[in-house]
């Protein structure tokens, strides 16, 4: 089949935009207008048939767009032996007539589908291009009339043609007219064509006209699968005749229907020209087409921007602020932040820079001469003695050295000013305490620490790192334990990590909450003294640039729902309580109670499964297979060891460690209420894996990956639900390498291959099965097997049901040429935390900040929003009313505008854009019950408090109830003090409690691990993971994947 890449198609179309074109639109063109595609209609009819015969299952099967619901319905249909095979050519006509045998019922079905629907972006852009003469006719198989409805809004006259008015079609090209031909009729006029006989009987006049028009006019096909025998026959006939018109079939993704492949081949064999072009969703495809073809037409581009704004005008949400909490205090926590004040002004001047001299390099020279300075917008801002500035800069100063305001507002929004304040404070405190310092660290050269790392002895010095924080009113400096390496030492990444881990272990020393607080207080006393410190820059000068650091740390007041007001001890003044927070209730998980036949909740995932049943139990019990079948890829020499291990999955395992969270594993069947079929090593489902014997590690690694993919192809022909891949210790060196720009990761390579083949995989390493954490491993592996077999163990309860979540992640490939190529991932979740589908796309129009983070242009953000909108249409029977998008980097203003306009064009009125990252500057320390000292345990999971109007902190990691006794405390990990998440609201009106509850819930939905929770919500973890692996995928346009294949 002759193909064109999408960018090649765009360039060709632009060269021929002065020639009139014809369009053929299928049902896929209307999906983003809220009208189901032909495939969606088929599934809806299947569901109607299934539920009419199984009434008790109505609630369980509410969303037919969920893969496991479709799987269950199809399995039931197959079991009746009276319905056509899935994806057979006659499915559409068969199910249309089977679901609604009465023609008038079919007409009403489609009438209900289109009622109240408005044309999406793509239809508007086609109308605008028709105004410019690029399109002269639009042929459509759709019943919705959206093209006609849209054209009426523009300066062009639509000529409506159906089988009842076919004689209108023979007319010459007239400026300002667009022919709109409905091939399958219109529910408003006459009969529709849905059944096999109706579909196979196109009007002879329309077929003849199609042949006439295609003789000398290019035809572009969008959103049409090629399932109608008569229409495909008519197209074949039209392009068999002599003519110059070309056929451009824009299909969804790379996999064309067999009929399309055959048509394109037949057209080319006949001496005409036809291409298949893999594309994305309808709106994104037409948007890209219009933007490229009309890129030099400023008026058209201006109209396009106005169109985007008008389509998104349904949304008018003023971003709400996080307010100061003033509720009753039930307890308090100390922090590592200390209030400060700073000068209200600084020096400002301009200088002449040398050729190729960078402003920051010039400021470093000033720093070395005792002048603190930063460049911004052509000026230098500095603290120091004016005479010294004049002396050092001499004749290079080209303006007056004037005094200018240094305000808190400018400090918050200008990173250069933050750097100026931080490095000045650090220098002053270091000098005043006779300690060593850098731009943000202070250390004591007498407190030496030495660690043996490998064969090296690495030396460093104990100290602190300083950082700035800003709340609604005050400015603070945060004090965090840190170290500084001995000068001149060069270390590898692994050596640095091992040293940092060792230092952290020493500081936390078994009681992180108590010992980190002690470390901070000791250092605060060393540099702030008992009464605080007031210093001038330069130290002991009379410049008036005064800095004041208070001696007492800020305190966090906490409300956990009690009606008892806390009485502060005399040692803690109420003035120190400057932060106010709450402990949000941790959302519970929902399971199925088979005895009562309803859903129940439990905060603990293991206990919920054992005491009840998985969330989808009723679906599995009635429709799916009773057992899950495994396939195994394992070296022959390890067969016995691995087989013995797998058979233990069906046995009970006792708890040896972590008993405050882990409960005994009762065996797979007892835990998940489904059987587990472990194959025998001699069966077809157990395949031998053999690595190449060579000294070339790179070659052997790649060949091992290719060998596994071949074995996966073999397993896909069996009944295995999940393929287990066993990696013995001797194969570990072959699991990846990195050599400059060349790298290979076996896990990512296999996951990318399997995702494209719809094969669920699970790696099991020999070092894992030898672990003494046997009970935890059995739980974790069993969960992975259950989920990867397309089943649902639990969901989150208590989140607003009409909400959907999307995670955006990026992966940057730095090519040898120096260019950066970005892959973006959009991964959506339902309100109960189920990861639905994800989509990858290559992103071109990006900029990078100083940390090499990518940021999208408004146009790219709009396209990404179209991706997310398409995912919603393909994942939900009804669009969510509220959409929350998470990513790890800030949303810049052009990203906000692009995403909001794109999503709101679908009528989504409540949009939340949240930046979520770890916050390693601020630390909170729980007091003991009597508030006489810091407690041995850290703060509770769910603690949150606002820092300022758009920033809040949330502890997803912290104390939770023990499974043994709710009065006992459990801390996951427990080796270091928990870090809060920093949540920045860039757009939206969600409250702090609502946002915190949603993130807490999503942090319990990472089915890829069996902890009580993850520190990050699954939206963030999954999107970044998938984007990283996405480099290895061969297809982006039109590809939507199930996230389970990447787990």
For residue range 840-864, list pLDDT tens digits in order: 777 778 888 878 888 889 998 998 8
Nearest partner of 1038 among 846, 756, 789, judged by Cα:
756
Distance CA 321, CA 239 (A): 61
CA distance linking residue 806 with residue 839, whole number of Å: 11
Q: Are residues 687 and 737 in the same domain?
A: yes
Domain boundary residue, one of 736, 756, 788: 788
Residue 254, pLDDT > 60, answer yes
Q: pLDDT tens digits for 326-378?
A: 778 889 999 999 999 999 999 999 999 888 889 999 999 999 999 999 999 99
843 strand-pairing partners: 822
Mean pLDDT over all residues of the chain? 88
Cis bond before residue 91 (omega within 30° of 0):
no
Give the pLDDT band (50/70/90) at residue 1036.
Answer: low
Residue 641 lies in a domain: yes
Residues in contact with 197: Cβ distance below 8 Å, sequence separation at least 6, in sequence order: none
150 in the same domain as 283: yes
Rg (CA), the chain: 33
Residue 599 to residue 849: CA distance in whole angstroms? 47
On the question of pLDDT at 381 being above 60, the answer is: yes
Report the C-alpha gap between 651 and 670 in whole angstroms: 9
d(CA 431, CA 423): 12
Q: Please give the average per-residue pLDDT across 29-51, as a whole number.
A: 88
Percent of the chain with pLDDT over 70: 94
Asked if residue 921 lies in contact with residue 895, where contact means CB atoms within 8 angstroms, the answer is no
Helix, strand, or coil (residue 870): helix
Distances (CA, A) of 205 to 173, 219, 231, 642: 18, 19, 13, 68
- Note whether residue 911 is domain-resident: no
User: Any idea which of 75-89, 557-571, 787-801, 823-837 has the lowest mean pLDDT?
Assistant: 823-837
b/e burial code for range 775-810 (CB count within 10 A of at least 16 → b)? bbbbbbbbbbbbbbbbbbbbbbbbbeeebbbbbbbb
What's the CA gap between 374 and 384, in Å, rounded? 12
The residue that leads in pLDDT, 27 or 405, is 405
Is residue 226 a part of any domain in this protein? yes
Residues 260 and 376 in one domain: no
**CA gap 384, 399 in Å, rounded:** 17
Do 222 and 245 fall into the same domain?
Answer: yes
CB 548 within 8 A of CB 338: no
Q: Pull the structure tokens for residue 1022.
A: 């999954």
pLDDT score of 69 more than 70: yes
Closest by Cα among 766, 678, 673 to 723: 678
Before 538, cis peptide (omega within 30)?
yes
pLDDT in tens, 665-690: 999 999 999 999 999 999 999 999 98
Q: What is the CATH number of the domain that holds 25?
A: 3.40.50.1220
Quick one: how far is CA 1047 from the chain centroid? 14
Q: Please, are residues 25 and 143 in contact by the beta-carbon 8 Å criterion?
A: no
User: In this model, does residue 202 exceed pLDDT 50?
Assistant: no
Look up the pTM and report it. Answer: 0.89
Q: How many domains does the chain have?
A: 5
Residue pointed to by tokens 């990444």: 493
Q: Picking from 474-488, 576-590, 926-940, which range would have the lowest pLDDT averaged per residue? A: 926-940
In order of 96, 454, 718, 781, the CA distances from 629 in angstroms are: 35, 44, 10, 14
Which has the closest alpha carbon to 339: 560, 128, 506, 575? 575
Distance (Å, whole) CA 424 – CA 437: 11
- Beta strands of 124-273 (E only): which ranges? 135-140, 157-161, 177-182, 219-222, 247-252
| Residue scoring higher pLDDT (295 or 909) | 295
Higher pLDDT: 319 or 205? It is 319
Q: Put the strands of the sheet holding 247-252 in their side by side order.
A: 157-161, 177-182, 135-140, 21-25, 219-222, 247-252, 274-279
Identify the band that residue 314 occupies on the pLDDT scale cut at 50, 70 and 90: low
Residues above pLDDT 90, as percent of the chain: 50
pLDDT at residue number 416: 93
Handedness of CA 516, 522, 523, 525 (dihedral sign): positive
Residue 819 pLDDT more than 60? Answer: no
If you ran DSSP here, which 8-state letter would residue 433 be given? T
Cα–Cα dist 166/221, whole Å: 21
Same domain? For 153 and 204 the reply is yes
Given this model, what pLDDT does residue 25 score? 94
Query: pLDDT for 642-654, tens place per residue?
Result: 999 999 999 999 9
Give the model's pLDDT for residue 767.
Answer: 87
CA nearest to 594, candidates 578, 611, 581: 611
CA dist 710 and 36 (Å) reads 37
- Residues 6 or more apart whose CB falls under 8 angstroms from that of 455 comprise none
Alpha-carbon span 824 to 844, nearest angstrom: 10
Q: End of a domain among 549, 579, 599?
A: 549
**Torsion angle of C-alpha atoms 518, 524, 526, 531, degrees rounded to 10:** -120
The model's pLDDT over 83-93, given as tens digits with 9 standing for 90+, comes to: 998 888 788 88
Distance of alpha carbon 419 from its chain centroid, rounded? 31
Tell how strand 177-182 and strand 951-954 pair up.
Answer: unpaired
Check pLDDT > 70 for residue 196.
no
Same domain, 187 and 222: yes
Domain membership flag for residue 989: no
Averaged pLDDT, 481-497: 91
Centre a 10 Å sphere on the Cβ of residue 358 and count the other Cβ atoms it contains.
11
Find the helix packing angle between 229-240 and 204-214, rounded to 10°: 40
Q: Which of 359, 430, 348 lies closest to 386 in space, CA to CA?
A: 348
Distance linking the first and last C-alpha atoms of the chain:
34
CATH number, domain with residue 644: 3.40.50.2300
Helix (H) or strand (E) holding 467: strand 456-470
Q: Please state, in angstroms and rounded to a whole number, the distance separating the CA atoms of residues 464 and 549.
A: 16
Q: Which two tokens stand for residue 984?
A: 């920045």
Query: What letter would DSSP give residue 681?
Result: T
Do residue 31 and residue 54 come from a single domain?
A: no
If you average pLDDT over each of 155-159, 522-526, 801-805, 927-931, which comes out highest? 522-526
Distance CA 644, CA 650 (A): 11
Does 190 map to a domain? yes
Q: Is the pLDDT of residue 882 over 80?
A: yes
Give a yes or no: residue 934 inside a domain.
no
Same-domain status, 85 and 174:
no
Instruction: Give the H or E element holding residue 260.
Output: helix 258-269
| 122 shares a domain with 111 | no
Q: What is the pLDDT, as a whole number, of residue 1044? A: 82
The string over 420-448, giving b where at least 16 C-beta atoms fall within 10 Å of a residue's C-beta and e elsewhere, is bbbbbbbbbbbbbbebebeebbbbbeeee
- pLDDT of the residue at 621: 63
- The per-residue pLDDT for 1037 is 64
Element (H, E) at 714: helix 697-716
Tell me the backbone φ, ψ of residue 874, rounded to 5 degrees: -90, -5
Residue 1005 lies in a domain: no
Is the pLDDT reported for residue 187 higher than 50? no
Q: Decide the pairing of beta strands 882-887 and 910-918.
A: parallel
| Domain stop point among 283, 303, 323 | 303
Beta bridge partners of residue 985, listed in sequence order? 914
Find, among 984, 568, 962, 1016, the residue nearest to 809 by Cα: 1016
Per-residue pLDDT of 898-954, as tens digits, reads: 999 999 888 888 999 999 999 999 999 999 888 888 988 899 999 999 999 999 999
Q: Is the pLDDT of residue 836 over 80?
A: no
Q: What torsion do the CA atoms of 33, 37, 42, 48 make, to the nearest 10 degrees?
A: -10
Is 46 found in the same domain as 129?
Answer: no
At 188 the pLDDT is 37
Mean local confidence (pLDDT), 781-806: 89
Any domain includes 963 = no
Enter the tokens of residue 640.
């016995």
Please, what's the largest Cα pairwise distance for the chain?
Answer: 98
Contacts of 649 (CB under 8 A, 6+ apart): 667, 668, 676, 678, 778, 781, 782, 785
What values do phi and psi take at 489, rounded to 5? -80, 140
Specify the pLDDT at position 199: 43
Would the pLDDT of 449 be above 90?
Answer: yes
If we measure between CA atoms, which residue out of 174, 126, 134 comes closest to residue 20?
134
| pLDDT of 201 | 47
Encoded tokens for 580: 């106010």
Residue position matching structure tokens 């969600």 = 990
Q: CA distances (Å), 489 to each of 459, 462, 484, 495, 685, in order? A: 9, 16, 11, 11, 54
- Residues paired with residue 653 on neighbouring β-strands, in sequence order: 665
Lowest mean per-residue pLDDT among 15-29, 88-102, 310-324: 310-324
331 token code pair = 């307890």
SS3 breakdown of the chain: % helix, strand, coil, rounded to 5? Answer: 35, 25, 40
The pLDDT of 96-121, averaged and rounded, is 88
Collapsed DSSP state (helix, strand, coil) of residue 535: strand
Domain span holding position 543: 336-549
Return the minimum-mean-pLDDT range out of 55-64, 469-478, 938-947: 55-64
- What pLDDT, on a 0 to 100 scale, did the predictor assign at position 709? 94
Measured from the Cβ of residue 609, the count of other Cβ atoms closer than 10 Å reads 27
Looking at the fold, whether 475 and 388 belong to one and the same domain comes out as: yes
Same domain, 532 and 665: no
Q: Considering only 275-289, 538-552, 614-628, 898-912, which range has the smallest mean pLDDT?
A: 614-628
């Amino acid at each position: 089949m002759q193909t064109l890449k999408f960018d090649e198609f765009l360039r060709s179309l632009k060269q021929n935009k002065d020639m009139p074109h014809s369009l053929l639109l299928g049902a896929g063109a209307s999906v983003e207008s809220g009208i189901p595609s032909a495939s969606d209609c088929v599934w809806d009819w299947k569901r109607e048939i299934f539920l009419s015969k199984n009434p008790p299952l109505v609630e369980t099967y509410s969303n037919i767009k969920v893969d496991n619901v479709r799987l269950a319905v199809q399995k039931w249909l197959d079991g009746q032996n009276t319905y056509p095979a899935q994806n057979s050519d006659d499915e559409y006509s068969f199910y249309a007539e089977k679901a609604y045998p009465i023609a008038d019922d079919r007409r009403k079905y489609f009438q209900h589908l289109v009622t109240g629907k408005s044309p999406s972006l793509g239809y508007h852009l086609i109308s605008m291009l028709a105004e410019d003469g690029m399109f002269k006719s639009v042929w459509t198989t759709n019943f919705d009339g959206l093209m006609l409805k849209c054209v009426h809004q523009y300066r062009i006259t639509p000529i409506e043609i159906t089988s009842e008015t076919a004689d209108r079609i023979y007319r010459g090209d007239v400026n300002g007219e667009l022919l709109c031909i409905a091939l399958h009729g219109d529910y408003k006029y006459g009969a529709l064509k849905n059944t096999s006989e109706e579909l196979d009987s196109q009007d002879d006049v329309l077929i003849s006209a199609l042949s006439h028009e295609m003789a000398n006019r290019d035809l572009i096909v969008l959103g049409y699968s090629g399932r109608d025998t008569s229409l495909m026959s008519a197209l074949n006939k039209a392009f068999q005749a002599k003519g110059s018109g070309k056929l451009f079939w824009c299909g969804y993704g790379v996999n064309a229907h067999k009929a399309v492949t055959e048509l394109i081949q037949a057209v080319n064999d006949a001496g005409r020209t036809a291409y298949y072009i893999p594309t994305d969703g309808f709106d994104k495809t037409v948007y890209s087409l219009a933007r490229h073809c009309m890129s030099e037409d400023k008026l058209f581009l201006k109209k396009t921007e106005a169109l985007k704004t008008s389509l998104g005008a349904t949304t008018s949400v003023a971003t709400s602020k996080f307010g100061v909490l003033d509720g009753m205090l039930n307890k308090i926590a100390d922090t590592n932040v200390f209030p400060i004040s700073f000068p209200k002004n600084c020096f400002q001047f301009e200088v002449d820079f040398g050729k190729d001299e960078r402003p920051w390099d010039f400021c470093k020279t000033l720093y070395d001469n005792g002048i603190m300075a930063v460049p911004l917008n052509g000026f230098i801002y500095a603290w120091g003695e004016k005479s010294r500035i004049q002396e050092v800069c001499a004749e290079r100063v080209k303006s007056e050295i004037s005094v200018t305001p240094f305000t808190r507002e400018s400090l918050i929004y200008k990173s250069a000013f933050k750097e100026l304040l931080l490095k000045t404070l650090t220098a002053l405190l270091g000098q005043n305490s006779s300690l060593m310092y850098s731009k943000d660290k202070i250390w004591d050269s007498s407190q030496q620490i030495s660690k043996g790392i490998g064969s090296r002895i690495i030396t460093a010095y104990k100290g602190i790192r300083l950082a700035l924080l800003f709340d609604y009113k005050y400015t603070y400096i945060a004090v965090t334990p840190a170290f500084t390496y001995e000068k001149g030492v060069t270390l590898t990444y692994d050596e640095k990590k091992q040293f940092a881990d060792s230092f952290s272990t020493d500081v936390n020393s078994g009681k992180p909450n108590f010992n980190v607080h002690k470390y901070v207080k000791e250092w605060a006393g060393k540099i702030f003294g008992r009464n605080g410190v007031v210093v001038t820059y330069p130290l002991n000068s009379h410049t008036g640039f005064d800095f004041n650091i208070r001696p007492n740390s800020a305190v966090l007041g906490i409300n956990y729902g009690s009606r008892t007001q806390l009485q502060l001890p005399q040692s803690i003044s109420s003035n120190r309580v400057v932060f106010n927070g709450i402990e949000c209730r941790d959302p519970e998980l929902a399971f199925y109670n088979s005895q009562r036949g309803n859903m129940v909740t439990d905060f603990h995932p293991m206990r919920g499964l054992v005491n009840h049943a998985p969330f989808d139990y009723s679906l599995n019990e009635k429709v799916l297979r009773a057992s899950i079948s495994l396939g195994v890829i394992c070296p022959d020499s390890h067969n016995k060891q691995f087989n013995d291990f797998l058979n233990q999955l069906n046995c009970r395992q006792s708890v040896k460690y972590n008993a405050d969270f882990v409960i005994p594993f009762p065996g797979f069947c007892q835990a998940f209420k489904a059987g587990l079929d472990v194959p025998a090593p001699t069966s077809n489902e157990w395949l031998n894996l053999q690595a190449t014997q060579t000294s070339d590690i790179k070659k052997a690694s790649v060949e091992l990956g290719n060998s596994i993919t071949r074995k996966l192809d073999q397993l896909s022909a069996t009944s295995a639900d999940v393929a287990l891949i066993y990696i013995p210790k001797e194969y570990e060196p072959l699991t990846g390498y990195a050599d400059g720009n060349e790298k290979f990761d076996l896990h990512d390579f296999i996951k990318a291959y399997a995702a494209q083949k719809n094969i669920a995989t699970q790696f099991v390493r020999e070092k894992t099965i030898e672990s003494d954490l046997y009970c935890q491993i059995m739980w974790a592996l069993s969960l992975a097997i259950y989920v990867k077999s397309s089943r649902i163990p639990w969901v989150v309860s208590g989140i607003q049901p009409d909400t959907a979540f999307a995670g955006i992640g990026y992966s940057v490939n730095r090519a040898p040429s120096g260019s950066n190529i970005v892959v973006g991932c959009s991964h959506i979740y339902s309100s109960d935390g189920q990861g639905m589908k994800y989509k990858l796309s290559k992103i071109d129009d990006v900029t990078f900040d100083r940390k090499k983070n990518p940021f999208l242009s408004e146009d790219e953000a709009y396209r990404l929003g179209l991706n997310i909108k398409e995912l919603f249409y393909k994942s939900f029977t009804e669009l969510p009313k509220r959409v929350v998008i998470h990513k790890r980097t800030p949303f810049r203003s052009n990203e906000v505008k692009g995403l909001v306009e794109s999503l709101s064009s679908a009528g989504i009125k409540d949009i939340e854009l949240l930046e979520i990252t770890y916050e390693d500057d601020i630390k909170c320390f729980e007091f003991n019950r009597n508030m006489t000292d810091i407690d041995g345990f850290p703060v509770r999971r769910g603690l949150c408090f606002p820092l300022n109007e758009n920033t809040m902190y949330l502890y997803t990691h912290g104390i939770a109830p023990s499974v043994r006794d709710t009065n006992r405390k459990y801390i996951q990990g427990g080796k270091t003090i928990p870090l809060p998440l920093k949540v920045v609201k860039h757009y939206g009106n969600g409250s702090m409690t609502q946002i915190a509850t949603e993130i807490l819930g999503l942090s319990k939905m990472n089915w890829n691990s069996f902890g009580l929770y993850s520190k990050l919500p699954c939206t963030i973890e999954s999107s970044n993971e998938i984007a990283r692996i996405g480099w290895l995928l061969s297809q982006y346009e039109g590809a939507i994947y199930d996230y389970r294949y990447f787990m």
